[in-house]
């Protein structure tokens, strides 16, 4: 799933092209992808976007006249593509936005269950749509992070991925951040020392900045992730094979030497611990 570094790289890449020309045609949109019907998509036509903004993993495109906001959430399988004039795109995109220059922004989703979403909202409705999100993960300092960690006792991996607590981190970057912080994915948030909180805040900022820098250069997952999806490969820091903990919907990757004092815990026991 694209997370903060991936979406911020997209925001930076799209900011100029989406605002360069007025919109010629908004849509078509897959029925499961378009989440709103009023105002209708056609209301965008003839208007110019002000640029691209981001909140957590969502992209927001306000119109220059301040009346509408187009919001896009890629979820797990949604992908964006910016096509130049005359460039061939996917036959049935989940959503398309054509500009008067002939260029197009298309959203595709290669999954049976369509989960990516497009919303056309008033500015008030757009604010309400993102109101539940916690502060942005990139730029969060140790004091603010400490407050979030101590609010309730949660395991670190699910807490980092909770968008209401902190916005922008998902499964992949939670793995990368916790490895750099040398913290167990199932350490309890209220039990961290001040020094560990500082380490986690520093790791969060360093890893997200590293990811953003790589993604802006077009780096692949393989070149970007050092822990995520690397079970059995030697840890880049200590050489110990990366371990995994399987859940129904996702997998946690970690280094037993760097993060859990050498302990490798069984999947089933971990599942119970993390519930």
Consecutive H or E run containing 177? helix 171-180
Q: Which is nearer to Zn ion, 105 or 255 (CB)?
A: 255
Q: In this structure, are residues 111 and 83 in contact, taking their beta carbons and an 8 Å threshold?
A: no
Q: Would you give the DSSP letter of residue 29?
A: E
Least Cβ distance, residue 164 to Zn ion (angstroms): 31
Q: Could you tell me the smallest distance in angstroms from the CB atom of residue 245 to Zn ion?
A: 16
Q: How far from 148 is each of 132, 137, 171, 195, 222, CA to CA, in Å? A: 14, 11, 19, 15, 31
Provide, rounded to whole angstroms, the least separation between the CB of residue 263 and Zn ion: 13
Give 143 or 238: the residue with its C-beta nearer to Zn ion.
238
Distance CA 11, CA 86 (A): 23
In whole angstroms, how close is the CB of 256 to Zn ion at the nearest point?
A: 8
In the complex, the smallest distance separating the C-beta of residue 235 from Zn ion, rounded to whole angstroms, is 3
Q: Which is nearer to Zn ion, 116 or 156 (CB)?
A: 156
Residue with the shortest CB distance to Zn ion: 235
Main-chain phi, psi angles of 52, to 5 degrees? -115, 130
Give min distance, CB of 194 to Zn ion, in A: 24
In the complex with Zn ion, the residue whose CB is nearer, 80 or 235, is 235
Is the CB of residue 6 less than 8 Å from the CB of residue 213? no
Name the percent of the chain in helix, strand, coil, to the closest 5.
35, 20, 45
* C-alpha distances in Å from residue 34, one per residue of 60, 73, 91, 104: 15, 11, 18, 17
Between 154 and 228, CB nearer to Zn ion: 228
The set of residues, in sequence order, having a beta carbon less than 8 Å from that of 223 and lying 6+ positions away, is: 214
Q: Minimal distance in Å, beta carbon 168 to Zn ion?
A: 25
Residue 66 tokens, joined: 């301040």
Q: CB-wise, 171 or 179, nearer to Zn ion?
A: 179
d(CA 63, CA 93): 22
State which residue, 163 or 175, has the beta carbon closest to Zn ion. Answer: 175
Q: How many CA atoms lie within 13 A of 60 on its CB side?
A: 19
Binding region for Zn ion (CB under 5 A): 235, 237-238, 240, 255, 257-258
Interatomic CA distance for residues 215 and 209, integer angstroms: 10
Whichever of 54 and 179 has its CB closer to Zn ion, that residue is 179
Give the integer Cα–Cα distance in Å for 259 and 178.
8
CB of 227 to Zn ion, least distance (A): 9
């Amino acid at each position: 799933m694209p997370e903060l570094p991936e979406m911020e790289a997209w925001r930076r890449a799209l900011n100029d092209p989406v605002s360069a020309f007025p919109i010629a045609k908004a849509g078509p949109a897959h029925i499961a992808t378009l989440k709103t019907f009023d105002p209708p998509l056609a209301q965008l036509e003839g208007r110019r976007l002000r640029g691209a903004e981001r909140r957590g993993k969502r992209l927001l495109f306000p119109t220059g006249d301040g009346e509408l906001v187009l919001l896009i959430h890629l979820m797990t399988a949604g992908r964006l593509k910016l096509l130049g004039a005359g460039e061939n795109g996917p036959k049935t995109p989940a959503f398309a936005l054509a500009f008067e220059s002939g260029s197009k922004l298309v959203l595709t989703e290669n999954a049976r269950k369509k989960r990516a979403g497009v919303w056309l909202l008033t500015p008030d409705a757009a604010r309400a749509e993102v109101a539940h999100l916690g502060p942005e993960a990139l730029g969060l300092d140790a004091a603010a992070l400490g407050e979030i960690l101590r609010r309730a006792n949660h395991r670190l991996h699910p807490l980092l991925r909770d968008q209401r607590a902190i916005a922008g981190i998902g499964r992949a970057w939670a793995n990368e951040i916790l490895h750099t912080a040398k913290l167990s994915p199932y350490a309890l948030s209220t039990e961290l020392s001040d020094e560990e909180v500082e380490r986690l805040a520093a790791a969060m900022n360093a890893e997200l900045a590293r990811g953003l820098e790589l993604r802006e250069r077009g780096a692949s997952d393989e070149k970007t992730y050092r822990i995520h999806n690397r079970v059995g490969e030697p840890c880049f820091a200590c050489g110990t094979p990366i371990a995994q903990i399987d859940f129904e919907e996702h997998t946690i990757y970690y280094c037993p030497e760097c993060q859990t004092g050498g302990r490798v815990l069984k999947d089933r026991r971990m599942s119970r611990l993390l519930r």
